[in-house]
């Protein structure tokens, strides 16, 4: 199982074909039989839950990337946060004989069997952002996604090296404690700040990804530790809540370094907040959408015989230096 790390900017829409696909041995057969430049291909995307704004963002990026390939038409099915719904939608894709399936499984174990059914039916399955159980390259074609631990680790390193080189007290706002990304981001950040021994993580509280809970929790943290110099929020909405708490405690923007995660575009997202000086930085959680379409192109149009089985898409740090430029994109 090889692991290829692709460095990409968050300007993900550039279809530069940077996806360097490992060309396999000459005698290997292509992954799907009916491939080639002239075909028309239906790609089915089984989304976990449209109701989360981040997932909407994934849909948007995926739609935009697919629109650039004239041979592709993309169908998005909303699993609505329900494994049963998502399973039956996957079965529909199999019945329709779509040419390729993308899936973000809402939960790993319950969706593993239907992924296997699709592969058995000869449909390549690319898992996006979330994995089912089983081995990529064998039980499904490939996994494309960000690495929560690494993203948060980048944020930790940024605090340790750039924001607080002289050290100080730092707080963490965790996501929903039962979710894997929440744990990975918490651990990643704590690992990242280890680079600077003078930094001390004095408080960590779960705020369930929600701005209102983050505001309440960070207000209490500021009471208990008035010298907190930076707060790492495991998503952008909690960073927004943390800023309100800082304001409530009489702090001005910049007094406390606020770091978000996700780097969502739009007026309510983190990129704008950094550009306007409300926060110090946010770290994009790449959707993997363009990468997924690139891989679909490789499989369906270029008749690739082999694709990388795990593609980790790197984060981009949004800082005051690049935020304004990023906003235009």
Only segment of 9-17, 149-157, 160-168, 208-216 that touches another protein (CB under 8 A): 208-216
CB of 318 to another protein, least distance (A): 17
Give the residue from 31, 18, 6 showing the smallest Cα distance to 300: 31
Nearer of residues 119 and 238 to another protein, judged by Cβ: 238
Taking CB atoms within 8 Å and a gap of at least 24, the contacts of 115-123 are 115/90, 115/139, 115/140, 117/90, 117/91, 118/90, 118/93, 118/94, 121/94, 121/97, 122/32, 123/93, 123/94, 123/97, 123/98, 123/99
Give the residue from 116, 122, 121 showing the smallest Cα distance to 140: 116
Nearer of residues 109 and 220 to another protein, judged by Cβ: 220
How many positions of this chain bind another protein (CB under 8 A)? Answer: 38
- State both tokens at 239: 């960073």
Q: What's the CA gap between 105 and 41, in Å, rounded?
A: 22
Give the residue from 182, 68, 79 showing the smallest Cα distance to 128: 79
Are 235 and 262 in contact by the 8 Å Cβ rule? The answer is yes
Using the rule CB under 8 A, which residue among 35, 133, 244, 310 binds another protein?
A: 244
Nearer of residues 212 and 321 to another protein, judged by Cβ: 212
Restricting to residues 261-280, name those near another protein by CB under 8 A: 266-269, 272
Only segment of 110-118, 158-166, 244-252, 320-328 that touches another protein (CB under 8 A): 244-252
Only segment of 10-18, 101-109, 132-140, 223-231 that touches another protein (CB under 8 A): 223-231
Only segment of 143-151, 153-161, 211-219, 253-261 that touches another protein (CB under 8 A): 211-219
- Radius of gyration of the chain, Cα coordinates, nearest whole angstrom: 21
**Does residue 180 touch another protein according to CB under 8 A?**
no
Give the residue from 266, 309, 262 showing the smallest Cα distance to 127: 309
Nearer of residues 217 and 298 to another protein, judged by Cβ: 217
CB of 193 to another protein, least distance (A): 17
Using the rule CB under 8 A, which residue among 9, 88, 180, 223 binds another protein?
A: 223
Using the rule CB under 8 A, which residue among 248, 254, 277, 320 binds another protein?
A: 248
Residues contacting residue 249 through CB under 8 Å, at least 6 positions apart: 219, 222, 223
Residues contacting residue 178 through CB under 8 Å, at least 6 positions apart: none
Q: What's the CA gap between 52 and 18, in Å, rounded?
A: 29
**Does residue 215 touch another protein according to CB under 8 A?**
yes
Residues that bind another protein (CB under 8 A): 50-53, 56, 174, 177, 202-206, 210-212, 215-217, 219-221, 223-224, 226, 237, 240-241, 244-245, 247-250, 266-269, 272
């Amino acid at each position: 199982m090889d692991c290829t790390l692709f460095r990409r900017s968050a300007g993900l829409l550039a279809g530069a074909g940077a996806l360097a696909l490992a060309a396999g041995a000459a005698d290997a057969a292509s992954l799907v039989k009916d491939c080639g430049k002239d075909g028309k291909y239906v790609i089915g995307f089984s989304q976990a839950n449209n109701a989360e704004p981040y997932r909407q963002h994934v849909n948007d990026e995926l739609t935009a990337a697919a629109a650039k390939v004239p041979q592709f038409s993309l169908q998005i099915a909303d699993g609505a946060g329900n494994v049963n719904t998502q399973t039956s939608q996957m079965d529909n894709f199999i019945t329709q004989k779509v040419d390729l399936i993308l899936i973000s499984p809402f939960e790993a174990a319950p969706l593993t069997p239907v992924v296997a059914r699709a592969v058995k039916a000869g449909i390549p399955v690319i898992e996006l952002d979330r994995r089912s159980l089983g081995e990529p390259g064998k039980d499904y074609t490939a996994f494309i996604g960000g690495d929560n631990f690494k993203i948060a680790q980048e944020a930790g390193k940024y605090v340790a090296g750039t924001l607080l080189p002289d050290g100080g007290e730092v707080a963490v706002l965790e996501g929903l404690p039962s979710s894997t990304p929440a744990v990975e981001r918490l651990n990643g950040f704590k690992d990242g700040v280890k680079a600077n021994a003078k930094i001390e993580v004095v408080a960590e509280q779960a705020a369930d990804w929600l701005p209102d809970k983050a505001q309440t929790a960070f207000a209490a943290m500021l009471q208990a530790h008035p010298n907190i110099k930076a707060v790492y929020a495991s998503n952008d909405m909690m960073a927004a809540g943390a800023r309100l708490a800082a304001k409530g405690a009489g702090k001005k923007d910049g007094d406390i370094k606020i770091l978000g995660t996700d780097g969502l575009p739009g007026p309510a997202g983190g990129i704008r907040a950094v550009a306007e000086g409300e926060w110090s930085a946010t770290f994009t959680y790449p959707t993997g959408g363009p990468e997924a379409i690139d891989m679909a192109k490789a499989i369906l149009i270029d008749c690739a015989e082999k694709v990388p089985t795990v593609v980790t898409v790197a984060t981009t740090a949004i800082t005051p230096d690049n935020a304004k430029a990023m906003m235009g994109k």
